[in-house]
A and B are shown apart, each in its own frame.
Chain A
Amino acid sequence: MRKSLLNISILISMLYSCQTEKKSGEKGDYLRWVGDIEQNDQIDPPEFKICNGDDNIFQYFNIGEGPVYHGEKSKIVHTFHSKYNPITGNNENGFIRIRFVVNCEGTAGRFRVLQSDDTYQETEFDQAIVSQLLNITKGFENWEVLKINETVVDYYMYLIFKIADGQLIEILP
């Protein structure tokens, strides 16, 4: 029993560490674009497909429509406020960003997590906070399908969660 609990705990910890953003940016270590997310077969489901190739993934704002959400942002906000359970006694403050790719079918994949305290220093929040936010984000089945000149495109999208005293106080952008 004890051993299986330990194994589960190690597995969970491995999964979250894998989904933590890998930092590139030192000279000679750049990918095509800042923030590009490469497929990681250990954590990214193989069924998630990029439609137009990794070299043609846009940023959400390249379209010039501002941040767009399927069913408007209010739907996202309502979902988080109804599903997220604040952690009692937690007094952590800062930002959690979950960034991902939305493909041409409006499906999201390659989720990555970045966390900082409220002075922008990288940190790790209580896993109960991060896992909830990640699971709720992954639970959205439809993201907006974006088109440029009538061509459907893949794009990077992110959600930033502002946390104050362990409470979810704002969702950006």
Chain B
Amino acid sequence: MKHIFILAVFLSSSMAFTQNCEAYKYYGDTLKYKACNKAKEAAGHYQFSKEYQIALDESLEIDPTFDHAYFAKSIAYLKSGDFVTWKRLIDQAVQYNPKEHLGYRGWCRYQFFRDYKGAIRDIEKLDRLVDYDIGQSQNGTYHLNIAKGLCYKAIGEKDKAIEIIEKQIKLNEEENFVGAYDYVHLGVLYLETGKFEKAIETFKKQTHYNELAENQYYLALTHQKLGNKNESLACLKKAKELYIGKRRMFDTYSNPMDKIYLEDIENKLKTPFNPPDGRSPAVLSQ
């Protein structure tokens, strides 16, 4: 049991300590250099462990403005759902280094707590602060602008969400770096706003790029809207096959927006020709 435990925990440890402390020394910040080296003692310990947290506490005793230590400490609280302690710690990281941590805090607000307005505020603030690309979400799944678009959708501003996501996908396509779920999210937005032909076109791009149960499910709903009964049924059957084969939207810590469940597919399969509602089934369950 102990071997399994150590292995599993090791595999799920983060790489929070890849910082080069020498940079602080180079710029003459000896206090941060010392704090950084102390923080490195946490490396090799699990983020949740006493040893990890104590090494970071000691780092902060050396330099209470060392943003990286607050960030690293906050991770375990985030992952355990302790929003109170997480927010207190990550706020300090943001206070001392907003350019480095605002995007991360915004993403976490969305990913873990569905704090849509808070996520939008953080991502937009970062965008105003920097003149470079604001980058990806921590898990690499989305460009932060896509995440921002999803947050606008969640607060009911679907046209704005479409505008943001369309623009970012275009940039992603130019760099051949489209996110794993970008097209399916945009397709669902088109479906929900009655742009059925655009939805089909976008779901087809997702099929070509990264086929998912969700993609076929929402494609089925779109075909239903257009009265394409045979196509709809075929897509639902394909969605079920993909779902069972685990080709579905996934996140290690939470359930992605627009994710579906087997029950959603089976309910639609029972009544494939009934008037569809076209509504995302997961709105209340993300």
Chain A residues within 8 Å of B, Cβ to Cβ: 21, 23, 25, 27, 30-35, 52, 56, 58-59, 61-64, 66-67, 72-75, 77, 81, 95, 97, 99, 114, 116, 118, 120-122, 148-149, 151, 153, 156, 158, 160, 162, 169-173
Contacts and interface: CB of A to CB of B under 8 A. Distances in A.
Contact of A33 (B46, B250, B285): B46
A148 B8 contact: yes
A121 B1 CA distance: 39
Contact of A35 (B82, B261, B262, B263): B82
A89 B8 CA distance: 47
Contacts of B57: 27
Interface string B246-278: 000011111100000111100000000000000
B49 to A, nearest CB: 6
Contacts of B76: 33-35
B253 A61 contact: yes
Contacts of A34: 47-48, 53, 76-77, 80, 82
Contacts of B24: none
Contacts of B130: none
Contact of A66 (B1, B11, B77, B251): B251
Interface string B157-195: 000000000000000000000000000000000000000
A52 B46 CA distance: 19
B2 A114 contact: no
Nearest to A151: B4
A163 B79 CA distance: 20
Query: Which of the four size classes fits the interface of chain B?
Result: 35 or more
A46 to B, nearest CB: 23
B1 A52 contact: yes
Contact of B284 (A21, A153, A170): A170
Contacts, number: 131
Which of B84, B115, B262: most chain A CB closer than 10 A? B84
14 contacts: A30-B50, A34-B47, A34-B80, A35-B48, A66-B250, A99-B81, A118-B115, A148-B4, A151-B1, A160-B81, A170-B114, A170-B284, A172-B113, A172-B255
Interface of B: 1-2, 4-5, 8-9, 11-12, 46-50, 53-54, 57, 76-77, 79-88, 112-115, 250-255, 261-264, 284-286
Could you tell me the dominant secondary structure of chain A's interface residues? Answer: mixed
Contacts of B12: 59, 61-62, 64
Given A97-B81, A114-B84, 4 more contacts: A35-B48, A56-B5, A74-B264, A120-B88
B4 A23 contact: no
Given A61-B253, A62-B8, A63-B8, A30 B54 contact: yes
Nearest to B246: A65
Contact of A31 (B8, B50, B79): B50
B93 to A, nearest CB: 14
A171 B4 CA distance: 31
Nearest to B250: A66
B138 to A, nearest CB: 14
B53 A30 contact: yes
B80 A160 contact: no
A173 B115 CA distance: 13
B279 to A, nearest CB: 14
